[in-house]
Amino acid sequence: MYRRFLKSKLHRVSITGKELYYEGSLTLAPELMEAAGLSPFEAVWVYNLANGARFETYVIEGRPGSGEVVLNGAAARLGEVGDEVIIVAYAWVAEEDLHEFRVRLVYVDEGNRVREVKEASLS
């Protein structure tokens, strides 16, 4: 049996831009993607702390060192520049792999630069 768990979380990153007339996605600085263990085109969920919006999209890689968190396409209607959001990815984990599964939690500073990465186990 497989169970779904939080895989990674970018905690309280700030939206830095919006591009309504763009293919739908979420642009993230590559440092944020790497810290969270996210791959280009991987599905993520975005939870906007300012307005309660919750939506699913996928990530694309932004410019290195930029701290970018850009809402693209329809998602641009779900937040404003400066809004803090939580970005999460989930994973399906086989029962027999639960003992080695780790969750990655990423905390940033006011410029969306990685401040701390924590790993948590299920046990």
pLDDT tens by residue, 48-86 = 999 999 999 999 999 999 999 999 999 999 999 999 999
Question: At the topology level of CATH, where does 2-121 sit?
Answer: Barwin-like endoglucanases (2.40.40)
Catalytic residue at 8?
A: no
User: What does pTM read for this prediction?
Assistant: 0.95
Catalytic residue at 25?
A: yes
- Residues 87 and 56: their CA atoms lie apart, in Å, by 10
pLDDT tens by residue, 5-56 = 999 999 999 999 999 998 779 999 999 999 999 999 999 999 999 999 999 9
Q: Which of 14, 22, 47, 58 is catalytic?
A: 58
Q: Where are the domains of the chain?
A: 2-121
- Residues 63 and 68: their CA atoms lie apart, in Å, by 7
